[in-house]
Chains A and B, each alone.
Chain A
Amino acid sequence: MAEAATMQVSDEVAVTINNMNKWYGSFHVLRDINLTVNRGERIVICGPSGSGKSTLIRCINALEEHQKGSIEVDGTLLSSDLKNIDKIRSEVGMCFQHFNLFPHLTILENCTLAPIWVRKTPKKEAEEIAMHFLEKVKIPDQANKYPGQLSGGQQQRVAIARSLCMKPRIMLFDEPTSALDPEMIKEVLDTMIELAEEGMTMLCVTHEMGFARQVANRVIFMDEGQIVEQNEPEAFFNNPQSPRTQLFLSQILGH
């Protein structure tokens, strides 16, 4: 718990979301979202299934379009302009619940694909970068295997390494451990904690409350497309304000 305090948060703003609204047809998924994330801040988003957590973070790198309000990432306003979308995506990395590694490419090729085709990095250099990050997630010896040959935990760590190879300034995680067997959750969380300690700006949808207590600066609770409550982890868990948060926490913590 001491670590969270030692990790630096700057005053510089990384993400600003202003009065953002999104609809799927007539279904109002996200309502009046306001959120500012500073550089180096680590935010955990939780809430019941279907509350719009995934949709919210997918709006940040334009995997989903929003219809109202504004999103600004590193000073770039997210619009339908492809240039802006490219710029934001090259600065924002994302990890998915189901890893989404490319099954037809080796682990190394998974990691070098985007640096080669997007960043135009020479192949040798891209491979060096990839090996560096694969070492960081502790699977350099799997570099020439295919994703299907790895365990779930290893695949998710490759997915993290693959994102890091693009040298992102912000990382988004959408329930990175929900598809994993219990014994593999720790290895992925450890990788994420290490990333947090290095000062990466992170937005993380997860129900791993231990992780939230250890690394989050702020925990956000969402319900029915709204941000219902946000607070520092200690206050959030020990003293939830809204009845909906209390109900959710009692269900998830099992008392």
Chain B
Amino acid sequence: MAILSDPPEGPFRLSMLLSDTRYRSLTLQAITALVLALCLAYLYRNISTNLQAQGLSLGFSFLQDPSGYDINQRLVEYTSQSTHARAALVGILNTLLVAVLACITATIFGVIAGVLRLSNNWLVSKLMAFYVEIFRNIPVLIWIIIIFTIMTNVMPTPRAFRGDAATSSMLFDLFAFTNRGVYIPGPGFSNPFFASVGMNWLLVIAVLVGSFFGARAIGTWATKIQEATGDRPTTWYMILGVWLLPVAILLTVMGLTWDIPALKGFNFTGGIKIGGPLIALWFALSIYTGAFIAENVRAGIQAVSKGQTEAAGALGLRPGRIMNLVVLPQALRVIIPPLISQYLNITKNSSLAIAVGYADITATLGGITLNQTGRAIECVLLLMLFYLTASLLISAFMNVYNASIKLKER
């Protein structure tokens, strides 16, 4: 607070708590804190007396009891003998899986649609406008149901792939699109380094992370050369090599094999099954949120004034360089903040999974577990804690990124 002039020295009067700028904000904060504390105390008393009256108590030991229900779509080992905690973990992983997948594809859809909407091609830009308006103006729940219904009704049953008179066939003999989901080849290792499958995949990821830093190092090296000689060396083939070679060698050494789905009896076995609910949810969240992201991207690019492009052009820069050096660095700082809230929306909207029977955290912990154990308060508290943590983490991560590209001093 700016001090305007030396305040006149005078005796302290009680009314100054509200009328004097030196005390006013402190007074108001104290009042707010007091009211908040009273509300919380009331809530706590209310809950505890009511629980006591019904002979109940709060506790989380139920999480260790066997769950007694099955989950179709899961990323970790789970049977109906597993605990409720395990069921919650399956749910959390499923929520994270669909949220991460949808964030990635929504960003891709959004960037493409946003850029194309600014295209000079009339038809393309109108098509993109149509996409944006259709998808963001109809609730996402309806899109989830529409896509799920189309999938279950239009796709062939596994049975249709059978026999000599099969009405459906697998794509390239590798992929099977059925009304129960999509079956794709699953990777495996014939000569793994570790007994645990997960460890082998961690190794692959570690190598990719190494490649990432390798590619960055090449970029830094190219910039150094450019600063010294003026010519930037051609690096795309080196970067391609750094990304592909190490991982290809590792996979070859570990003996990568593909487990191809095959029809056994009435259903497909082998490979990886991506269930219909997951696909419907993933796709609906992606196209719906993609429409919002498209608008953010368009606004970001348009926020960079035409004068910037012209000034860069007048200096002799080519359009691609103008995009990379002048327009994008400025557009990104307009695009990133709303992108954060879109990612949060995806994470929270993924709880609509319950509409198509996808076993996310809301469906497992907040659905079946809650109903079977009757532990409503505990389940809902845990549920809130999870979404809050996930959202805050996404937010924190994106804010760090945003700060790193923010415009310095304007």
Question: Which one, A98, A103, A148, contacts B330 given CB within 8 A?
Answer: A103
Interface set, chain B 310-366, CB cutoff 8 A to A: 310-318, 321, 325-326, 329-330
Interface flag for A102 (CB, 8 Å): yes
- The segment out of A85-93, A213-221, A235-243 that lies at the interface is A85-93
Question: Which one, A103, A149, A166, contacts B315 given CB within 8 A?
Answer: A166
Interface string of A156-175 (1 = CB under 8 A from B): 00010011001000000000
Main secondary structure of the interface of B (DSSP, over half): helix
- Per the bound structure, the CA–CA distance linking A122 and B231 in Å amounts to 8
Interface string of B369-410 (1 = CB under 8 A from A): 000000000000000000000000000000000000001111
Question: Which one, A90, A96, A104, A113, contacts B310 given CB within 8 A?
Answer: A96
Chain A nearest Cβ from B403, distance in angstroms: 14
* Across-interface contacts of B228 in A (CB, < 8 A): 122-124
Q: A-contacting residues of B (Cβ < 8 Å)?
A: 226-231, 305, 307-308, 310-318, 321, 325-326, 329-330, 407-410
- Per the bound structure, the CA–CA distance linking A94 and B228 in Å amounts to 28
Question: Which one, A63, A122, A123, contacts B314 given CB within 8 A?
Answer: A63
* Across-interface contacts of B330 in A (CB, < 8 A): 102-104
A122 touches B315 (CB 8 A): no
Question: Which one, B230, B407, B408, B409, contacts A120 given CB within 8 A?
Answer: B230
* Across-interface contacts of A77 in B (CB, < 8 A): none
Q: Which 5 A-B pairs have the closest CB atoms?
A: A123-B227, A100-B311, A114-B315, A148-B410, A120-B230
B316 touches A122 (CB 8 A): no
Question: Which one, B307, B317, B321, contacts A100 given CB within 8 A?
Answer: B307
Q: Which of A98, A103, A163, A166 gathers most chain B CB within 10 Å?
A: A103
Q: With A96-B307, A104-B329, A104-B330 as given contacts, are A89 and B315 in contact (CB-CB < 8 Å)?
A: yes
Question: Who on chain A is nearest to B324 by CB?
Answer: A117
Interface string of A45-58 (1 = CB under 8 A from B): 00000000000000
* Across-interface contacts of B231 in A (CB, < 8 A): 120
Chain B nearest Cβ from A214, distance in angstroms: 26
- Per the bound structure, the CA–CA distance linking A89 and B310 in Å amounts to 11
Question: Who on chain B is nearest to A119 by CB?
Answer: B230
Question: Which one, A89, A116, A149, A166, contacts B230 given CB within 8 A?
Answer: A116
B409 touches A146 (CB 8 A): yes
B311 touches A96 (CB 8 A): yes
Interface flag for A35 (CB, 8 Å): no
B316 touches A124 (CB 8 A): no
- Per the bound structure, the CA–CA distance linking A6 and B408 in Å amounts to 46
Interface set, chain A 101-120, CB cutoff 8 A to B: 101-104, 113-114, 116-120
